[in-house]
Amino acid sequence: MQGTDLGGAGAAPERVAPAAAGSLITVEGLAKHYRVHQRSAGVAAALRSLLRRRWETVRAVDGISLSIAPGERIGFLGPNGAGKTTTLKMLAGLLHPTAGTVSVGGFRPAERSRDFLHAITLVAGQKQQLLWDLPPADTFELNRAIYEIPRPVFRQRLDELVELLEVGEVMRRPARQLSLGERMKCELAAALLHRPRVLFLDEPTIGLDITMQASLRRFIATYNERHGATVLLTSHYMADVAALCPRIVVINHGRIIYDGSLPQLVRRTRPEKRVELHLERAIPRPELEALGARLVSFEGTQAVFHVEQGDLKRLVTQALAALPVVDLSVADAPLETVLADLFAATPAPAAPGSPAVVAPP
């Protein structure tokens, strides 16, 4: 039987949101609005814009609240421009919020205090931290000095990271000569030498092949379990969040539209199970329709039904008894489909201050 692995690395609890009292990260009504210059294409528009500029306010993040407990692994999901990276940047102290409050380990990130910067790290798949023309070993050494890591501790941590990430060979070659995967592993090693308590990972697996993605996911899970670090991850790869994050936060148009576990999201958005039958031979369509479930596709010897959870057992039993079934699989709807449904159900807010957020059940 095949199905979508929704549990992933950690068996996902139904509802993971912790009590605010035990939280490491608290966000209340966080917003980031940008004022951007607007003009149409063409020379005439360019000349007009010299005399009269048109500005538009983009509400990149528009009032989000959440609470994250120490050691949690959270995935931020959302389409491009939804506000995921902006949120992450505000949590990491790179952007000052337009409104709202953020507390990370008791610090206000925008102040970028020394202790705060010692406690966090941010790794972005599309931005490199490594010194481009020097071997990663030089970046590691620089970080040792910057974070004032005693040399024996540094050696021990580096050995651990080098072993987990398998970068012993590559760390002595100039960063610009490394493959994307090798570079990403070295980025992670450089970012974790100071043993941060909070990891902000912004699309860390972007552009990597499947094997390398899996390898990085394993590393992140191991690091989280070994050191109890809190992980906040954004990714467009569903496999990343499914494997790593017991809790997901879905953001669209700058607002949280879901906060909870993946299985629960799937059940809520697409409660029907997908039942796929492979038959020994082609049979007339009415024989399939006679099963009394919604037949969504039928081609050759393959039929797909969507069925309510409560009706699943009956359908499977009847199909096995009545039809020449050679294989049968039951799965939840694909995550991509679930999210597409969810995004489609939350159009952009018409006006500022309109009611926010589809609250989790």
Partner 1 sequence: MSVAVAVWWPLRLARLLAALLRVGLAQALAYRSEFIVWLLTTNMPLVMMLLWTTVAKDAPVGRFGQAQFGAYFLLTMAVRLLTGSWVVWEMTMEIRQGTLARRLLRPVHPFLAYCAEQAAAVPLRLLIVLPLLVVMVGWLGTGQLSREPLHWCLLPLALAGAWALLLSLMLLIGALALYWDSAISLFELWLALYFVLSGYTIPLELFPAGLRAVVTWLPFRFVLSFPVELALGLPSVGAALAALAVQWLYVLALFVAALTVFQRGLRRYAVFGG
- Contact set with partner 1 (CB under 8 A): 32, 34, 60, 81, 85, 89, 92-96, 110, 112, 114, 117-118, 120-122, 124, 127-129, 131, 133-134, 138, 141-142, 144-148, 174
CB nearer to partner 1: give 129 or 318.
129
Q: Which tokens belong to 344?
A: 């489609």
Q: Identify the three-state secondary structure at position 27.
A: strand
| Kind and range of the H or E run holding 228 | none
Residue number with CB closer to partner 1 (35 or 52) = 35
Cβ at position 131, least distance to partner 1 in Å: 7
Hey, what amino acid is at 106?
Answer: G
Q: Phi/psi at 128 (nearest 5 deg)?
A: -100, 145
Minimum CB separation of residue 266 from partner 1 in Å reads 29
Token representation of residue 126:
């599309």
Q: How many CB atoms lie within 10 A of CB 347?
A: 9
- Tell me the three state secondary structure of residue 31: strand
140/103 Cα distance (integer angstroms): 29
- Report the side by side order of strands in the sheet with 273-279: 294-299, 302-307, 273-279, 325-331
Q: Which is nearer to partner 1, 89 or 157 (CB)?
A: 89
Q: Give the span between the Cα atoms of 202 and 221, in whole angstroms.
A: 16
Taking the least distance from each CB to partner 1, the nearer of 12 and 199 is: 199
Q: Rounded distance, CA 48 to CA 65, Å?
A: 41
Place of tokens 């030498």: 193
Nearest approach, Cβ of 187 to partner 1 (angstroms)? 11
The CB-of-154 to partner 1 minimum distance in angstroms stands at: 12
**Is the Cβ of residue 32 or residue 267 nearer to partner 1 in the bound state?**
32
Is the Cβ–Cβ distance between 86 and 150 less than 8 Å? no
Query: For residues 263 and 47, what is the distance between their CA atoms, to the nearest angstrom?
Result: 54
Angle 149-154-158 from CA coordinates, rounded to 5°: 140
Q: DSSP assignment, residue 354? A: P
What is the dihedral angle through the alpha carbons of 10, 15, 16, 21, rounded to the nearest 10 degrees?
-160
CB of 230 to partner 1, least distance (A): 16
Q: How far is the CB of 207 from partner 1 (least distance, A)?
A: 16
Nearer Cβ to partner 1, position 187 or 272?
187
Task: State which residue, 138 or 276, has the beta carbon closest to partner 1.
Answer: 138
52 or 114: whose CB is closer to partner 1?
114
At closest approach, how far in Å is the CB of 97 from partner 1?
10
Instruction: State the nearest-atom distance from the C-beta of 77 to partner 1, in Å.
Output: 16
Query: Least distance in Å: CB of 134 to partner 1?
Result: 6
Structure tokens at 163: 């072993």
Whose Cβ is closer to partner 1: residue 128's or residue 337's?
128
